Structure 1
Amino acid sequence: MARQPMLKFVNIGRDMPEKRDANVRNHDFHEIYAEYAEAKAAEQASRCSQCGVPYCQTHCPLHNNIPDWLRMTAMGRLKEAYELSQATNTFPEICGRICPQDRLCEGNCVIETAGHGTVTIGAVEKYITDTAWENGWVEEIVPMAARGESVGIIGAGPGGLAAADVLRRAGVQVTVYDRHDRAGGLMTYGIPSFKLEKDVVMRRVAQLERAGVEFVLNCNVGVDLSFQAIRGQHDAVLLATGVYKSRELTGPGAGAKGIVRALDYLTASNRIGFGDEVEAFENGTLNAAGKRVVVIGGGDTAMDCVRTAIRQGATSVKCLYRRDRANMPGSQREVANAEEEGVEFVWLAAPKGFGGDPVSGVMVQKMRLGAPDVTGRQSPEPIDGADYVEPADLVIKALGFEPEDLPTLWEEEALPVTRWGTIKADFQTGATELPDVFAVGDIVRGASLVVWAIKDGREAAAAILAGFDAQASQVAAQ
């Protein structure tokens, strides 16, 4: 290996793993990117400039030690690279696949701002951990010592699972409650397999199960088991429910058959991928095959829906978004992938109403961008007389998610919420005003990213452990 393995961005260009041909991949649900070969991973990692102030690390919610594990990869020291990556990230192979690196680490890479093209951080991260699994470097979770404390975690998504990992390694007894029949939350049922194949998630769940984490599935808290009962069984409770209430459409005909929620649609598709029988898919309600599909929204969930519809055999797939391409919230990388696969984007367009029942068309209001709103983004304004009807047999609402009313659903009015309905909790520790009750992830932040939920889960687990240790010290002092 050369004495100086890094700083090769001047001579070596950015090179992502090869993407499968769009006309092939749009017929299946396998991940679209091939894996790096070892030499290619080392080459791309060697482009890192090892800058004195690593903005990639600063802009990573987990503050992953990116420059160091890139250097280890460039030097062929992959096991050490994995150990560095795993030290700060519970699920690096998942973040490598689904994080919007273009908005986080890669979007703030120093050599990108210098015009050399960012380091392919996400692809290298994925490669490192996939290699670690293949080589048996991912060690079983072995608790440091058995502890008497018990923690109940409500929600088996990324925040809950990340907290379970930290707590179990410390020896705490952990029970995870979830309404679904499989753990993983949106990683299992919300994100399509072409972005995150499900064996990647199930492998981590199995690791936690082998470590002694107990999963109580098909458990709808507030119905099957009360929140108060869970509090009574554990020394601390962590809320990691996510946000699942879909924002709704308004306008004439918004309640017509054939207008469905994005999460229902994606969940049905993912269940089919598991081999489940899904009546709503079989009868066509949540199946795009042979249909003209219109997806309303511009975020990553909308991108998941349009790309799923293409794979299900829709005759056409169009995405309506009320702003332009530059102002959409979803990943530009995902938009490009969708366009390659046959999705048509209709910018500056909003639904005004719906015709037919079952739906046969979307009344579209053309828009223009006006003055900036309080966030600085230009607000869309309708253009008078610029309406038209977009034919549609299936309309998918991907307008974002809001928190459920947990205090009412769980009959716990003391559970503190913000004016947006999210749980009011300390952003560093996750502590709420209820004693020994913590909250993390989307139920605190609002709909956000998997990587932020992982960060929150890890930090709340550390705070819970610190609280247990403080209580033990007080008891010992008495």
Structure 2
Amino acid sequence: MKFLRCKEIPPSTGKTVSIIGAGPAGLGAAGFLRCRGHEVVVYDMMPEPGGMMMFGIPDDRIPKDNIRKSVRELVEGGARIILNNKVGRDISLEDIIKASDAVLIATGTWKPRRLGAPGEDLPWVLPAADWLVEVHMARYGYLPWAKVPKVGGRILVVGGGLTAADAVHVPLTYPEFKDGVEKVVLSYRRTRDYAPMRKNEFERLIKMGAEAWELTQPIAFYEEGGRKVVKFVRMELKASDSGRPKPVPIEGSEFEAEFDWALLAIGEVPTPPFNNGCCGIELNPDGTIKTDENFMTTRKGVFASGDVRHGPSLIGKALKSGLDAAQKVHLYLTGQL
């Protein structure tokens, strides 16, 4: 993966673009804009660039050295990256907009979606995405291991997407956890045929030793007599207008099982660095940033791309969104938009 795709940087245009978010969309856009001679400043809340590519995905699924090499090339090409700096907390979005000729927001989807079940806030029920980030923060020396929940014993992972797959993979393979694992159960409300992670990945996890509880849904978490209990309901699939079968609870099918930890991987929601309406920028009902066909928000000169614009996606789609948005930013800066 390369972010800077030119051999030489052209003379400066004198225009400055501020990019908020150093994930695939933001870094891809930064490389494109540097190759057009624009000055680029990237802000990111994490201690190292890469976003979820770096901190949310297992090392053996994405080689982190490749990301670091591409980031070095970008910095050597003149991009400035400001880390440990969360826009909206450490610096004002309005101040960034006023100091820039254009702004691109690419802050992704960092907030876990909630299941809405009783007991979801118990200390042994964790958002899988947050836990994966903490694991990798500790692995790379940015967080003490003592602050990372030592997940082990009987582990429940809930979900059917790639975050769920990673939440199964890490305890079973990382040396920091695997010796303490008794079993890992993957609970998914549909069947493997409809899992976003795809059937072959689902079956790979089973071959690794995970148990698959298809057509099940946790509906409550509680403690009783020192036991940590999860209450489930069995599901059945029924036809829907979307073409994808809808999981429906089967009345009277509830059952319980004991676990030591539960990792919830039921999706993430967009995390724009502002509240709806701030700085003249509007959000869509689903929390994504409202843009036109040119990736421009409701504030002139402010653009959005990646998952914060279109919702959770794979790295390739986010990267393409960043590149496409960067082209529009370039046209805007050169008076062609």
Are the aligned partners of 1:414 and 1:434 in contact in 2 as well (CA < 8 Å)? yes
The change in CA–CA distance for 1:459 and 1:229 in structure 2 (over 3 A counts) is same
Are the aligned partners of 1:258 and 1:359 in contact in 2 as well (CA < 8 Å)? no
- Which residue of 1 is the match for residue 231 of structure 2? 363
The change in CA–CA distance for 1:277 and 1:419 in structure 2 (over 3 A counts) is closer
Q: CA deviation at 1:166?
A: 0.5
Separation of aligned partners in 2, 1:440 and 1:342: 38
Deviations 1:285-330 (A, max 9, x none): 52223x2100111111100101112122221101100111112121
Are the aligned partners of 1:90 and 1:454 in contact in 2 as well (CA < 8 Å)? no
Separation of aligned partners in 2, 1:302 and 1:258: 17
Q: Which of 139, 143, 151 is the equivalent residue of 1:288? A: 151
Separation of aligned partners in 2, 1:171 and 1:373: 50
Q: Which of 342, 346, 351 is the equivalent residue of 2:218? A: 351
**Counterparts of residues 29-428 of structure 1 (less than 5 Å):** 90=2, 141-278=7-144, 281-282=145-146, 286-289=149-152, 291-311=153-173, 312-313=177-178, 314-356=181-223, 360-370=228-238, 372-404=239-271, 406-408=273-275, 412=278, 414-427=280-293
Are the aligned partners of 1:242 and 1:443 in contact in 2 as well (CA < 8 Å)? yes
- Which residue of 2 is the match for residue 452 of structure 1? 317
Separation of aligned partners in 2, 1:397 and 1:170: 42
Q: CA deviation at 1:177?
A: 0.3
Are the aligned partners of 2:158 and 2:187 in contact in 1 as well (CA < 8 Å)? yes
Separation of aligned partners in 2, 1:430 and 1:398: 29
Separation of aligned partners in 2, 1:418 and 1:239: 15
Identity level (%): 33
AA matched with 2:275: T
AA matched with 2:149: L
| Aligned-partner SS, 1:269 | helix
| Aligned-partner SS, 1:145 | coil
The change in CA–CA distance for 1:359 and 1:141 in structure 2 (over 3 A counts) is farther
Are the aligned partners of 2:108 and 2:272 in contact in 1 as well (CA < 8 Å)? no
Separation of aligned partners in 1, 2:212 and 2:77: 46
Q: CA deviation at 1:373?
A: 2.4
Q: Post-superposition, which runs of at least 4 consecutive aligned residues in structure 1 deviate over 3 A?
A: 138-141, 404-407
AA matched with 1:333: N
| Aligned-partner SS, 1:361 | strand
Separation of aligned partners in 2, 1:359 and 1:418: 42
Are the aligned partners of 1:431 and 1:438 in contact in 2 as well (CA < 8 Å)? yes
AA matched with 1:457: G
Are the aligned partners of 2:134 and 2:143 in contact in 1 as well (CA < 8 Å)? no
Are the aligned partners of 2:297 and 2:304 in contact in 1 as well (CA < 8 Å)? yes
Are the aligned partners of 2:229 and 2:259 in contact in 1 as well (CA < 8 Å)? yes
Note the residue ranges of structure 1 that are not aligned, 5 or more in a row: 1-88, 92-137, 473-478
AA matched with 2:200: R
- Which residue of 1 is the match for residue 334 of structure 2? 469
Q: CA deviation at 1:176?
A: 0.2
> TM-score when scaled to structure 1?
0.66
Are the aligned partners of 2:107 and 2:273 in contact in 1 as well (CA < 8 Å)? no
The structure with the larger Rg is 1
AA matched with 1:233: A
Higher strand share: 2
Q: CA deviation at 1:197?
A: 2.2
Separation of aligned partners in 1, 2:24 and 2:171: 26
The change in CA–CA distance for 1:344 and 1:310 in structure 2 (over 3 A counts) is same
Separation of aligned partners in 1, 2:49 and 2:213: 36
AA matched with 2:90: D
AA matched with 1:218: N
**Counterparts of residues 10-21 of structure 1 (less than 5 Å):** none
Deviations 1:11-53 (A, max 9, x none): xxxxxxxxxxxxxxxxxxxxxxxxxxxxxxxxxxxxxxxxxxx
Separation of aligned partners in 2, 1:210 and 1:141: 11
| Aligned-partner SS, 1:176 | strand
Separation of aligned partners in 2, 1:454 and 1:153: 14
| Aligned-partner SS, 1:390 | strand
Are the aligned partners of 2:23 and 2:51 in contact in 1 as well (CA < 8 Å)? yes
Higher helix share: 1
Q: CA deviation at 1:236?
A: 0.1
- Which residue of 2 is the match for residue 78 of structure 1? none
AA matched with 1:303: A
C-alpha RMSD of the superposition: 2.1
Q: CA deviation at 1:199?
A: 1.0
Q: CA deviation at 1:354?
A: 1.1
